[in-house]
Structure 1
Amino acid sequence: MQCLFGFVFILLLLRSGVSEASDCESGAENQPKVARTIWVDQSGKGDFTSVQKAIDSIPSYNNKWIRIYISPGIYREKVTIPYDKPCILLEGTHSSLTTIEWNDYNETSESATFSSFPDNIVAKAISFKNFYNIPPAVVDGNNPVVPAVAARIYGDKSAFYNCGFFGLQDTLWDVEGRHYFHGCYIEGGIDFIFGSGQSIYESCAVNLTLGKYAPEYPYGFITAQGRNSSSDPSGFVFKTCAFLGSGETYLGRAYGPYSRVIIYRSVLSDMIVPAGWDAWDYAHHEGNFMYVEHGCRGAGANTSGRVPWMTQLSAYQLSEFVNLSYIDKDGWIDKLPIQP
């Protein structure tokens, strides 16, 4: 993973030239509804055989929810939802049956299988996979693990229900904005949930695969959160999740000088190294971090060996992050056309 804050800034400037889309229109009594459905089916029975072609067919600045239903299958394509196409629901049959996959690698800004740029995007029951590192390619007798992003999420008010994210390094780039992940499966080995998103991961399974695919690495890192200042609202909150897998790993390392990760009432297996957290390039600035573990259980939940700069929050302070209001003060989740 590389420091790409400059790249993100440039994209924000480009985005400023696009008219901001209003919230997607709702139906009677303010109930969210889907205006129409586009069917993607590889056998030719639907409207399109490609997910990208279905997205391309939606008019720019659309403000009504449009469902793209994706039939079971492995769709080998890179998929991008551009900034000017909000209000899209991608829906598969099941994350084990509907997969979008590719095998690109390079800088994180180029390798993603799935990229979502606009606000108001929902995905349900789909897996996003970058299989370049699975297992790592052998180069000159070595197995180098390189950035190979499965999904990158830019837009505000984006939700993912029962989705899968597969990769090894930099699997899920939670770039920026408010995001909600519910019942998702995320696997990887190094910095595989990273970025500056303001996100809640609820009832998700986080699976370390470093021991399976790259056992020569002594340990991995699950998160790399990039909060930049004390006023930056971003942070990753893991609520009632399960952290499992093979190999050894830190819960996270600092991708920004005010990095923030909260793990709440989750199960931590014995793969978690005793120290738990790493300052990375921000050593001697640990007082700015917010790394919290509260009410967790499992063989890796013992905090007696953790770094001394872990944060302790009061019940009131904790509630500010673990309640949905942390990402949803304006009620956008209830306005989505689909729920968990």
Structure 2
Amino acid sequence: MAAKANSSSLVISNKSKNELVTVEKAYINWVKMHASLKPHPVFKKANNKFKTCLTIKVSKNPKLGDFVTVQKAINAVPATNLCRVVIFIGAGTYREKVEIPKTKAYMTLVGAGADNTVIEWDDTADRMGQSGRQLGTYGSATFAVNSPYFIAKNITFKNNAPSPPSGALGKQAVALRISADTAAFIGCKFVGAQDTLYDHLGRHYFNNCYIEGSVDFIFGNGLSYYKDCHLHAISNNSYGALTAQKRESLLQETGFSFVNCKVTGSGALYLGRAWGTFSRVVFSYTFMDKIITPRGWYDWGDKNREMTVFFGQYKCSGPGADFGGRVSWSRELTLEEAKPFISIDFIDGYRWLPHFSW
């Protein structure tokens, strides 16, 4: 029996090594592809439009705007929109659940300042929808975007559901879900508790944004670049997590990159949990307060994911940034390894973002 056990251990060890070599080769090829400044081949060529063809005003005062709710303004846009529509949203709290359909591309929403223009609702995943079924995490979003080339500026998106107790089920409460390619959020706030920002699908850009939550409060399978953002934890649980990225194969060119950000708040948090087998998250030039647990990352209870995830940091600072206590399967990146993550070309941004975002 002892001999068989040793043989089995050897096989497992060799298999693990082969898997690690495969992942490393894939990463090296990915870095080379980015170094050549080629766009992500799995995404369609971006063809953004910035010239405004229609302007709409929303105001709590019906005398000052075209509509008094955000959803009615969106509904007024042609069913298949082919040009840039700008919706200005005046100061006030708009208590409504909002969704932008797939056909209404090229929409820009501009608030009167994130502290002044607030869109809020309080759905949770276990709440019953109009169909008689539970909404689920996907359907719990206060604001949902399903159309490409979306831009939001100076708005707060909020889910008012209270922070759930540890272990509670069905209390995911999304403030914003972005399920479309090529979206930009500038000077916005995303406020919630569990699952605040559903970074679902597509290439996304977040600049100078504030994101607040407790557990997995930035999650999904987007390819997203967070620049100069403030991540604030309100966790009272034993352990929460800033991110839960869901990359599920070597072929998926997704991941989260945080550059020059700030992490503050309460609780004890992981930088990320491996929701996907090939989860990919990197923090660069980011200040981390002492709330970050020394281990830094969690494998979602699956040891096999330790061989396939890509979790790393580059030149981070603060009491929570010490790499000395990190799990052995995370990385302190070199400049060469970090380069693909610290430019907006990580999301092909030069090809679809407005010039002021560069």
Q: The TM-score by the shorter chain falls in which range?
A: 0.7 to 0.9
| 8 A Cα contact 2:164 2:194, kept in partner | no
- Equivalent residue number for residue 109 of structure 1: 138
Q: Choose the corresponding residue for 2:256, options 236, 240, 253.
A: 236
The answer as to 2:118 corresponding to 1:93 is no
Q: Choose the corresponding residue for 2:153, options 121, 124, 136.
A: 124
- Equivalent residue number for residue 161 of structure 1: 186
| 8 A Cα contact 2:259 2:342, kept in partner | yes
Q: What do the CA deviations read for 1:45-87 (whole angstroms, capped 9, x no partner)?
A: 2000010000000012211111000000000000000000000
TM-score (norm 1): 0.85
Q: What do the CA deviations read for 1:21-57 (whole angstroms, capped 9, x no partner)?
A: 98344xxxxxx32222100001102000010000000
Number of equivalent positions: 304
Which stretches of structure 1, 4 residues or longer, exceed 3 Å deviation after superposition?
Answer: 20-25, 142-145
Deviation of 1:287 after TM superposition, in Å, equals 1.5
Q: Choose the corresponding residue for 1:83, options 102, 113, 136.
A: 102
Q: Choose the corresponding residue for 1:59, options 73, 78, 81.
A: 78
| 8 A Cα contact 2:323 2:332, kept in partner | no
| 8 A Cα contact 1:24 1:63, kept in partner | no
Instruction: From the two aligned structures, give the one with the greater helix fraction.
Output: 2
Counterparts of residues 36-51 of structure 1 (less than 5 Å):
36-44=54-62, 45-51=64-70
Change (3 A) 1:329 1:21: closer
TM-score (norm 2): 0.81
Identify which range, 170-179 or 324-333, moves more after superposition: 324-333
Change (3 A) 1:94 1:279: same
Structure 1, unaligned runs of 5 or more: 1-19, 26-31
Separation (CA, whole Å) in 1 of partners of 2:313 and 2:333:
9
The answer as to 2:47 corresponding to 1:23 is yes
- Equivalent residue number for residue 315 of structure 2: 295
The answer as to 2:268 corresponding to 1:248 is yes
| 8 A Cα contact 1:21 1:61, kept in partner | no
Q: Which residue identity lines up with residue 176 of structure 2 in the other structure? A: A
Deviation of 1:262 after TM superposition, in Å, equals 0.3
Look up the SS of the partner of 2:354 in the other structure: helix
Separation (CA, whole Å) in 2 of partners of 1:21 and 1:97:
36
Q: Which residue identity lines up with residue 153 of structure 2 in the other structure? A: K
Look up the SS of the partner of 1:35 in the other structure: strand
- Equivalent residue number for residue 208 of structure 1: 233
Look up the SS of the partner of 1:280 in the other structure: coil
Q: What do the CA deviations read for 1:216-274 (whole angstroms, capped 9, x no partner)?
A: x2121110000011121100000000000011111110110000000000000000011
Separation (CA, whole Å) in 2 of partners of 1:251 and 1:330:
28
Deviation of 1:143 after TM superposition, in Å, equals 7.7
Deviation of 1:285 after TM superposition, in Å, equals 2.6
Deviation of 1:283 after TM superposition, in Å, equals 1.9
Separation (CA, whole Å) in 2 of partners of 1:247 and 1:144:
20
The answer as to 2:342 corresponding to 1:318 is no
Look up the SS of the partner of 1:285 in the other structure: helix
Q: What do the CA deviations read for 1:141-174 (whole angstroms, capped 9, x no partner)?
A: x987810000100110000000000110000000
Look up the SS of the partner of 1:284 in the other structure: helix
- Equivalent residue number for residue 7 of structure 1: none
The answer as to 2:326 corresponding to 1:306 is yes
The answer as to 2:193 corresponding to 1:175 is no
Q: Which residue identity lines up with residue 42 of structure 1 in the other structure? A: K
Identify which range, 221-230 or 275-284, moves more after superposition: 275-284
Structure 2, unaligned runs of 5 or more: 1-43, 126-135
Deviation of 1:315 after TM superposition, in Å, equals 2.0
Q: Which residue identity lines up with residue 212 of structure 2 in the other structure? A: E
Q: What do the CA deviations read for 1:287-335 (whole angstroms, capped 9, x no partner)?
A: 1110011100001111111100013444223111211111026610036
- Equivalent residue number for residue 16 of structure 1: none
Change (3 A) 1:21 1:309: closer
Q: Which residue identity lines up with residue 89 of structure 2 in the other structure? A: I
| 8 A Cα contact 2:344 2:350, kept in partner | no
Separation (CA, whole Å) in 1 of partners of 2:170 and 2:78:
39
- Cα RMSD, aligned residues only: 2.1
| 8 A Cα contact 2:88 2:111, kept in partner | yes
Q: What do the CA deviations read for 1:86-127 (whole angstroms, capped 9, x no partner)?
A: 000000011000000001111212110000001100000000
The answer as to 2:284 corresponding to 1:264 is yes
Q: Which residue identity lines up with residue 148 of structure 2 in the other structure? A: D
Look up the SS of the partner of 2:339 in the other structure: helix
